[in-house]
Chains A and B, each alone.
Chain A
Amino acid sequence: MNRFAGTLTLTRFALRRDRVLLPVWIVIFPLLTVSSASATVALYPDEASRIIAASAINDVPVAIAMYGRIWDPTSLGALSLLKLAAMGGVMIGILAIMLVTRHARAEEEKGRTELIGSAVVGRWAGLSAAVIVTCTAMVAIGALSAVGLTAVGLPAAGSWAFGLAWATTGMAFAAIAAITNQLTVSARAANAMAMIILAVAYLLRAVGDISSDESSPSVLSWFSPIGWGQQVRPYAGDRFAVLFLPLVFTAVALWAAFLLESRRDLGGGLLPDRAGRGTAAPSLASPLALAWRLQYPMLVGWLAAYVILSGIVGSIVNDLSGMLDTPEARRMVAALGGTDVMLDAFTAMEFAMIAFVTAAYGIVAARRLATEESDGHAEPVLATSVSRTSYLVSHLLVALVGTALLALAQGASFGLATAAQTGSMDRVGATVAASLSYLPAIWLMTGLVILLFGFVPRLTFLAWVLLVGFFLVAEIGALLEWPQWVMDTSPFAHMPKLPAAEMAWTPLVVLTILSAALMAVGAWRFRQRDLDTP
């Protein structure tokens, strides 16, 4: 039988399944791009103002590490889309990975592929459909972004360079996910493995970009799909030829994925499932132990990533003072309040952003309650003598303790990395306090998940929507001059922005009480309602 037989049917099936979600993503990405670009266009009307803004970034290693370099300081487009080149590359990479896994490994894990496989469907059809759907989405996002950017007045060539760079970055990560989907048995693990590669790609280009000179990055950036996207240099040279790198990479990686697919069993992975223990550890005897058992691998992964990334960022931030070797730069910093003040400002900025990532972990961990229920795993547990409350609290505790540990790891690792360079532990306390100070806002998001779970478990995803909204408020709200009341809806906006500003206890106490209330109401409602069944 033709191994691609049925690809079209499965593609149509996948598109039908995603008929709401996919268009939403395809519209959100270009909207984000266009709104952020048009806001910047208004901010820097003349070339002189752009050059100042560009050098404020090019002279600061943290900014380069986070966003990349501006290759043409006079270019309006390069300045407006700086954040969306690296960060956007990460976001589109995440989307591509999730899409491929959702339609390939997740389907297989649930056993749907087996059903379909017995119909007239070739071996490669499932993976092909997943890749086709994802790559189509990537191209659509890229093309819409290009059209939108041209429409707000940026040069057409640069806009297309940007859109195509995004699309091909997404495709490269789709191909990477296609490979990890062959290696592991669970969708969760396939996603995790691809995300780790994504994080490494981001880091490679961060390190590569810092060690770059005016004209070219270090070789490290050329090993990263995110780096490729940036090296297309939209609005700053428009090097379309660079697009061949991700395209060739995608082709080769996909070829490898299909090759691997033919070498494994349906439902199996290439990495073998080791035999486990025949009896449970004596400690596996409570709902909390179960929640921990289910969730700790993910938490450990997050903690490791936090320690490493925060350590890197922490040591880069400290480099700041060493990098300021030009007299103008020193004068500028002095005018802004001295290196310590600058350091505090950068630290506060980076911590405010990481708080959203920590909140994301809290949402994932708390939403496990909803997925456990819809997967039918809650039923056997609640049919034993486990109360609804202790069941809910078990996963909630993982979310609360997990977010606290992450915040602690981030603050400590960041502070210690700085200390290792300055030889003084002075700042460690301050950075730990700063990262912990975001916990009330983070827990409010966890509380929201619990509240939704208590009432309508199917709607817990709304917590994600709100988190993205609050993130936009923080990142581009001020830029777009959104009204103050909109900005005030975000719990993150009320946090005291340590260490740059003074500690303020009131918002912390209020938000903590509020999140406890959300959790209590959610738990109360969960005790009343029917258990959902798969």
Chain B
Amino acid sequence: MSAAIETVDLVKTFGHTKALDGLSLTVKEGEVHGFLGPNGAGKTTTLRCLLGLLRADSGSATVLGRDTWRDAVELHRHLAYVPGDVSLWPNLTGGEVIDLLGRLRGGLNGQRRAELIEIFDLDPTKKSRAYSKGNKQKVALIAALASDVELLLLDEPTAGLDPLMESMFRTLILEWRGEGRSVLLSSHILSEAEALSDRLSIIREGRIVETGTLEQMRHLRRTSVTAHLRATPVGIDALTGVHEVVVEGTHLTCQVDAEALDGLLPLLSTFGIEAIVTQPPSLEQLFLQHYGQAST
């Protein structure tokens, strides 16, 4: 398969801030690629470089085989972008914005537009100034998803959506991929990227620090377990794959590798479980776990 997006050693500085520091990212054609990183890591900057809105200091970036700066106008016919902070013209209605952006991109699928408006439950006759953050995001999403393009660039697209809409969004993205089209999905929420992505790239301080399929990244997954037991637990830290064990009376917290859960739970039940909470790690925790040393 050829690459939908290919950047090599992209560098972008703003004054003294090095927003991108040699970023090399590859998104294959037909895949949903999760682009993960904490706030300020450089996700938005990367997307803006890919769109030719920013000019990289050095390095190369091609999207759909075209140079992102020189061929921007032609390239944009084939992709759709949903910015993270959607800001619409207050005097235009949602419906007008959807049509306008679609037409400027080269055309809109009218039937698809109507379906999406239905699915997202959007009132397209309202002036944009009356929309909430989530509704503005819906407008931008509908404009993007109703376009006949090969690639979607999404910058934290679910930040303002409620859980119901978020699950709609996931279904739509999977449909989209089913048609053989590609998506670059930036997010700072691990679970969201996991649910949708074929492959993931993790960005930190302007560089890609991990890239691969979910399977390949299994080692990044450590579940945090908090349990109230009837008796004081012993011998927990002896298990392999269980880390940072803290026992306070009958109260236990620890971090567990995905493979080690099988071993932990039977052991805990021998002490009598009153309550147990497991939590996937937040992205920030992940970075602390795996890259904490690298930054110091």
List the interface of chain A (C-beta within 8 A of B): 109, 185-186, 273, 275-280, 284-287, 290, 293-294, 375-377, 379-387, 528-531, 533-534
Contact = CB atoms under 8 A, between A and B. Distances in A.
Contact of A380 (B52, B93, B101): B101
Contacts of B140: 380
Contacts of B170: none
B53 A382 contact: yes
A383 B129 contact: no
Given A275-B125, A279-B124, A380-B101, A284 B91 contact: no
A386 B73 CA distance: 6
Given A276-B93, A375-B87, A529-B55, 5 more contacts: A277-B93, A280-B103, A286-B104, A383-B76, A383-B81
Interface of B: 48, 51-55, 72-77, 81, 83, 85-93, 95-101, 103-106, 124-127, 129-130, 140
| Nearest 7 CB-CB pairings of A with B | A280-B99, A376-B87, A276-B93, A384-B104, A280-B96, A385-B76, A278-B95
Nearest to A268: B130
Contacts of A377: 87-89
Given A276-B125, A278-B125, A284 B103 contact: yes
B100 A284 contact: yes
A275 B126 contact: yes
A392 B124 CA distance: 28
A293 B76 contact: no
B91 A294 contact: yes
Contact of B53 (A276, A387, A530): A530
A379 B84 CA distance: 11
A278 to B, nearest CB: 4
A179 B95 CA distance: 32
Given A382-B53, A384-B105, A530-B54, A278 B124 contact: yes
A280 to B, nearest CB: 4
B99 A384 contact: no
Given A290-B100, A385-B106, A530-B55, A380 B91 contact: no
B258 to A, nearest CB: 38
A285 B103 contact: yes
Given A284-B99, A284-B100, A380-B81, A385 B74 contact: yes
Given A273-B127, A386-B73, A279 B87 contact: no
Contacts of A280: 95-100, 103
Contacts of B88: 377
Contacts of B100: 280, 284-285, 290
A385 B73 contact: yes
Contacts of A279: 95-96, 99, 124
21 contacts: A109-B129, A275-B126, A278-B95, A279-B99, A280-B96, A280-B98, A280-B103, A286-B104, A379-B87, A380-B81, A381-B101, A382-B53, A383-B83, A384-B76, A384-B105, A385-B75, A386-B76, A387-B72, A528-B55, A530-B53, A531-B53
